[in-house]
């Protein structure tokens, strides 16, 4: 068996010692009474009893009986866990009292008697010194006090008489005094060491407790922050899915409106119709811009990322921004901490700068300074910037800082949400910051806001570093709208208005058109009409089979038939969601007649 021992508590040990001494008090008092009575009897039998010795025996008897009664009344069966300092001092006082009482025979009895009475007194005094000191050993101070007083009495007796008995008693008493003096010195040293160690241990316990409390508090706060970030991410994801779906359906409506406006222009109804069709096309253009912002927030817009020299871009944008913001706002640009290129869509970066500039102008109605900076940053595995999660890596950070009114914490938490705005009715759509946020997220980066009320706002775009060189692309020349030569095109679109519009557009371009609403109807026409040259299909179709799934079956059976997709979901989003392959062609709704004509001509070439 394993022998385990529990370390003793010093306070409990002291309590046990005092308790044992208290239980020993009755027999000690009885010994006092017996020894004093025996001494009186011996002296009386040898005719050496004096009134002084008789008085001493009465005092000793009174004290002994009194302590006997008190010990009997306050007797404890079990030792307490600890004793008070007062209880220890009471034991020391009792030891001093009895030490003074037994010093009396050392001074007067032993030197004044003779014969066998002196021998008996010497033996009795020796026994009282030894027995009393040993009995008081658990409390060394009490033992020293007792033996010290008896020793002092023996020294005085030796000084008065100088006989052999008093000398021997003095030597014995002094020896015990020396022993217990050494004991109490050692005990005091141990006590001090123990006291210091206990203080150190208590301080260590307090430090550990404080550390645990701080760690627990930090862990709780970090958990709350993580939960808030998760809730914000889930909320933004849900809003993004909703806005992406709205933008998709809205693009179908815009495609019909814009397409019919173009068809009206082609009919040449007269100059009076041009303002009407122009207004329609202008409104659809604004609608297309609105859906583009919605798609930017929901990270479903079509991006063309490439290496950008951010220093050149903000330098080129400073003059247009200055003219747009007015003379009351000073535009300052800094790029001395940046040498990397960013991987992003330059058009979207410019749009983000314009949106942030407009927000800054509205935040500084009395004018101020707008600072645009770019810097290179390497993020480690901490994956957090201003409370927002981001993948570790190299980033080019575009910062836009104003000296405006700033935002409250409540407003800042909602600033990236679409249609959230603090501007008056008709003064803002609430899509500027949401577009910036969605663009940064879709580009593989992050957007953050740091703001203080009355101090201004800083919006930062973290765009991934580009490791490729910048390619200078030539601007394509404007070409005439290409026309067809009677080729047959199968249009698959579940929205009847969009399908009818596509049929009219393609018919006016010189193609023969067949329109169906789903993949099953398209399959029947492909089987029956062998002359079909191209399929123009929506990505999402009813009936359980999507446009890309139908195209995969068609390429297996009829590899010569070309396929073009059209959708309210832009190219990058459709590819990311697995709708299209990397070589697929997709027209983003709403599209112009010229865009449709060029896409069809290139596919049939």
- Kindly state whether residues 435 and 554 are assigned to the same domain: no
Specify whether the CB–CB gap between 179 and 165 falls below 8 A.
Answer: no
Taking residues 303-319, report their average pLDDT.
81
Tell which wins on pLDDT, 168 or 81. 168
The pLDDT value recorded for residue 190 is 57
The pLDDT value recorded for residue 269 is 55
In a domain, 415, yes or no: yes
In a domain, 111, yes or no: yes
Please give the sequence-ordered ranges of beta strands (E in DSSP) within 180-328, or none if there are none: 306-308
| No. of helices (H) and no. of strands (E), the chain | 17, 14
In a domain, 97, yes or no: yes
Which residues fall within 8 angstroms of residue 163, CB to CB, at 6 or more apart?
111, 118
Asked if pLDDT for residue 144 goes beyond 60, the answer is yes
- Kindly state whether residues 411 and 518 are assigned to the same domain: no
Q: Which residue has the tokens 């089979």?
A: 545
User: For residue 605, what is the DSSP state?
Assistant: -
- Kindly state whether residues 457 and 501 are assigned to the same domain: no
pLDDT band, very low/low/confident/very high, at 9 (cuts 50, 70, 90): low
- Kindly state whether residues 500 and 386 are assigned to the same domain: no
The pLDDT value recorded for residue 536 is 92
The pLDDT value recorded for residue 572 is 47
Asked if pLDDT for residue 222 goes beyond 60, the answer is yes
- Kindly state whether residues 546 and 426 are assigned to the same domain: no
The pLDDT value recorded for residue 6 is 42
Q: Counting beta carbons within 10 angstroms of the beta carbon of residue 424, is it exposed (0 to 12), middle (13 to 18) or buried (19 or more)?
A: exposed
The pLDDT value recorded for residue 469 is 67
The pLDDT value recorded for residue 509 is 87
DSSP 116-167: HHHHHHHHHHHHHHHHHHHHTTTSHHHHHHHHHHHHHHHHHHHHHT--HHHH
**554-587: pLDDT as tens digits:** 888 888 888 998 877 655 445 555 556 555 777 8
Taking residues 342-351, report their average pLDDT.
81
- Kindly state whether residues 539 and 583 are assigned to the same domain: yes
Taking residues 484-508, report their average pLDDT.
86
- Kindly state whether residues 541 and 457 are assigned to the same domain: no
The pLDDT value recorded for residue 580 is 60
Asked if pLDDT for residue 5 goes beyond 50, the answer is no
Taking residues 147-157, report their average pLDDT.
78
**97-125: pLDDT as tens digits:** 888 888 888 777 777 777 787 778 777 77
SS3 592: coil
Alpha-carbon distance 346 to 312, whole Å? 11
Tell which wins on pLDDT, 176 or 339. 339
Tell which wins on pLDDT, 96 or 270. 96
Of 299, 297, 301, 333, the residue nearest 314 (C-alpha): 333
CATH of the domain at 316: 3.30.565.10
CATH of the domain at 580: 3.40.50.2300
Q: Which of 203, 221, 250 is the last residue of a domain?
A: 203
Number of domains in the chain: 3
- Kindly state whether residues 453 and 549 are assigned to the same domain: no
In terms of average pLDDT, the best of 200-209, 269-278, 296-305 is: 200-209
In a domain, 287, yes or no: no
In a domain, 247, yes or no: no
Alpha-carbon distance 450 to 585, whole Å? 41
Asked if pLDDT for residue 38 goes beyond 70, the answer is yes
The pLDDT value recorded for residue 242 is 64
**438-477: pLDDT as tens digits:** 778 878 888 888 888 888 889 888 888 888 766 555 444 5
Asked if pLDDT for residue 7 goes beyond 50, the answer is no
The angle formed by the CA atoms of residues 531, 534 and 536, to the nearest 5 degrees, is 135
Instruction: Look up the pTM and report it.
Output: 0.41
Of 90, 204, 199, 79, the residue nearest 136 (C-alpha): 90
C-alpha separations of 364 from 135, 171, 326, 398, 439 in Å: 92, 101, 11, 20, 25
- Kindly state whether residues 39 and 149 are assigned to the same domain: yes
In a domain, 106, yes or no: yes
Tell which wins on pLDDT, 439 or 547. 547
CA dihedral 374, 325, 295, 400 (to 10 degrees): 20
The pLDDT value recorded for residue 299 is 47
Taking residues 221-240, report their average pLDDT.
69
In a domain, 232, yes or no: no
In a domain, 276, yes or no: no
Strand partners, 401: 371, 458
Alpha-carbon distance 550 to 545, whole Å? 7
Q: Which of 466, 499, 519 is the last residue of a domain?
A: 466
Taking residues 363-374, report their average pLDDT.
87
**What percentage of the chain exceeds 90 in pLDDT?**
1
pLDDT band, very low/low/confident/very high, at 244 (cuts 50, 70, 90): low
- Kindly state whether residues 497 and 453 are assigned to the same domain: no
Please write down the long-range contacts of 280-283, taking CB distance under 8 Å and 24 or more positions apart: 283/257
The pLDDT value recorded for residue 102 is 81
The angle formed by the CA atoms of residues 549, 554 and 556, to the nearest 5 degrees, is 105
Which domain range does residue 534 map to?
488-604
**83-103: pLDDT as tens digits:** 667 777 877 888 888 888 888
Q: Which of 175, 203, 231 is the last residue of a domain?
A: 203
- Kindly state whether residues 27 and 143 are assigned to the same domain: yes
Average per-residue pLDDT for the chain = 75
Asked if pLDDT for residue 529 goes beyond 70, the answer is no
- Kindly state whether residues 495 and 441 are assigned to the same domain: no
């Amino acid at each position: 068996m394993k022998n385990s021992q529990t370390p003793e508590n010093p306070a409990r040990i002291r309590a046990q010692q005092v308790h044992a001494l208290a239980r020993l008090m009755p027999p000690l008092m009885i010994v006092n009474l017996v020894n004093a009575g025996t001494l009186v009897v011996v002296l009386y039998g040898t005719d050496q009893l004096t009134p002084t010795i008789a008085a001493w025996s009465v005092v000793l008897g009174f004290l002994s009986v009194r302590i006997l009664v008190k010990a009997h009344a306050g007797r404890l069966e079990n030792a307490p866990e600890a004793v008070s300092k007062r209880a220890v001092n009471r034991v020391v006082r009792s030891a001093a009292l009895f030490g003074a009482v037994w010093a009396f025979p050392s001074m007067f009895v032993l030197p004044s008697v003779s014969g066998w009475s002196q021998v008996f007194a010497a033996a009795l005094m020796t026994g009282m010194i030894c027995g009393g000191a040993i009995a008081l050993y658990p409390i060394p101070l009490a033992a020293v006090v007792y033996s010290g007083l008896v020793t002092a009495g023996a020294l005085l007796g030796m000084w008065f008489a100088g006989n052999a008995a008093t000398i021997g008693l003095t030597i014995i008493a002094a020896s015990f005094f020396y022993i217990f003096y050494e004991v109490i010195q050692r005990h005091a040293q141990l006590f001090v060491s123990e006291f210091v160690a206990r203080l150190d241990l208590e301080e260590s316990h307090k430090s550990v407790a404080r550390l645990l409390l701080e760690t627990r508090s930090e862990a709780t706060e970090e958990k709350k922050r993580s939960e808030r970030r998760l809730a914000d991410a889930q909320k933004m994801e849900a809003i993004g899915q909703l806005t992406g779906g709205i933008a998709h359906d809205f693009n179908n409506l815009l495609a019909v409106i814009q397409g019919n406006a173009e068809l009206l222009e082609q009919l040449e109804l007269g100059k009076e119709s041009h303002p009407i069709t122009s207004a329609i096309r202008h409104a659809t253009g604004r609608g297309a811009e609105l859906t583009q912002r919605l798609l930017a927030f929901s990270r479903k817009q079509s991006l063309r990322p490439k290496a950008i020299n951010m220093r050149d871009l903000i330098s080129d944008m400073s003059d247009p921004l200055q003219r747009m913001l007015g003379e009351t706002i000073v535009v300052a640009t800094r790029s001395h901490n940046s040498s990397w290129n960013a991987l992003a869509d330059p058009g979207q970066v410019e749009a983000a700068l314009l949106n942030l500039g407009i927000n800054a102008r509205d935040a500084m109605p009395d004018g101020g300074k707008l600072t645009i900076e770019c810097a290179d940053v390497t993020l480690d595995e901490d994956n957090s910037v201003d409370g927002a999660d981001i993948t570790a890596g190299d980033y080019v950070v575009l910062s836009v800082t104003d000296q405006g009114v700033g935002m409250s914490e409540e407003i800042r938490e909602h600033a990236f949400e679409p249609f959230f705005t603090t501007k008056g009715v008709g003064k803002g759509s609430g899509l500027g910051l949401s577009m910036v946020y969605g663009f940064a997220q879709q580009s593989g980066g992050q957007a953050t806001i740091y703001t203080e009320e009355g101090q201004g706002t800083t919006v930062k775009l973290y765009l991934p570093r580009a490791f490729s060189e910048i390619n200078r692309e030539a601007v394509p020349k404007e070409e005439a709208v290409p026309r067809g030569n009677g080729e047959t095109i199968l249009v698959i679109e579940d929205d009847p208005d969009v399908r009818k519009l596509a049929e009219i557009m393609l018919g006016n371009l010189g193609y023969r058109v067949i329109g169906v609403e789903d993949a099953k109807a398209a399959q029947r026409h492909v089987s029956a009409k062998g002359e079909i040259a191209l399929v123009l299909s929506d990505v999402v179709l009813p009936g359980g089979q999507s446009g890309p799934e139908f195209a995969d079956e068609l390429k297996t059976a009829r590899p010569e038939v070309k396929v073009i997709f059209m959708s309210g979901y832009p190219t990058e989003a459709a590819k990311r969601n697995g709708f299209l392959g990397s070589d697929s062609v997709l027209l983003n709704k709403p599209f112009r007649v010229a865009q449709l004509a060029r896409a069809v001509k290139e596919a049939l070439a």
